[in-house]
Amino acid sequence: MNETVSAEDEAAGRSRPGTGPWEILVPGGHGTAFVAKSGQLIEIVDVEGQQVADFVAFAERNRTEWLSTTHTRSALLKLTVQTGDRLDSNWRHPMFEILRDDVGRNDIITSMCDDRRYRLDYQVEGHRSCRTNFAEALEPWGIAEWQIPDPFNFFQNAPIHPDRTFGNEIPTGQPGDKLVLRTLLDTIVAVSACPQDLNPCNGFNPSPLLIRVLEPADAS
């Protein structure tokens, strides 16, 4: 049986099972971080639909290596990612492979939201952001805010237009849609259920994500 660990339990330092599958329920607008070992699978489930999952990762053994949108774009010669693609680090090592993608829309261009964007673009102070979520979640590993790289924005609907501009539209994900990654390197992973509610990014209503970490034999 899977054990479910809430983001609140994570923040309180509750330990996870040492073996077997486990889950983290991330409330809308919040984030979490965890270690995933090479060979394990990471499932990201859009619980209610239309929710973006911002995703960053660092090599567990060397924090100067991280998952890189820039290097992945260069390796794939594409502006998005899909099933079958490998996601590379800034040292050009494969870190993840996409095994399943129910939504088929992912953004690897847009930066994460931060408190400065809410202040400058929306005149809102004190709004939660993906940068805040990552900084809080990664603090136990000694990773500072300035070290956090640009994210992979899974499920984000940012269509690329013929004139080379790109949009920001309501995600097409439906309740229960998932993306599955195979971990190719021992990593520290952080996921943010993006708190943006002032544009269409999350259908104007941030909602939960369910994260499952599985051994290959446990995957369905």
Sorted by sequence, the CB contacts under 8 Å of residue 198 that are 6+ apart come out as 118, 122, 124, 204
Neighbours of 36 (CB within 10 A): 23
d(CA 46, CA 180): 12
Report residue 134: phi and psi, to 5°: -65, -45
pLDDT, position 30: 98
pTM of this prediction? 0.89
pLDDT, position 3: 55
The one-digit pLDDT tens for each residue of the chain (220 residues) are: 455 555 555 443 333 444 458 999 999 999 999 999 999 999 999 999 999 999 999 999 999 999 999 999 999 999 999 999 999 999 999 999 999 999 999 999 999 999 999 999 889 999 999 999 999 999 999 999 999 999 999 999 998 888 888 889 999 999 999 999 999 999 999 999 999 999 999 999 999 999 999 998 776 6
List the domain boundaries for the chain.
26-218
pLDDT, position 20: 56
53-59, strands of its sheet edge to edge:
31-36, 187-193, 53-59, 152-154, 106-107
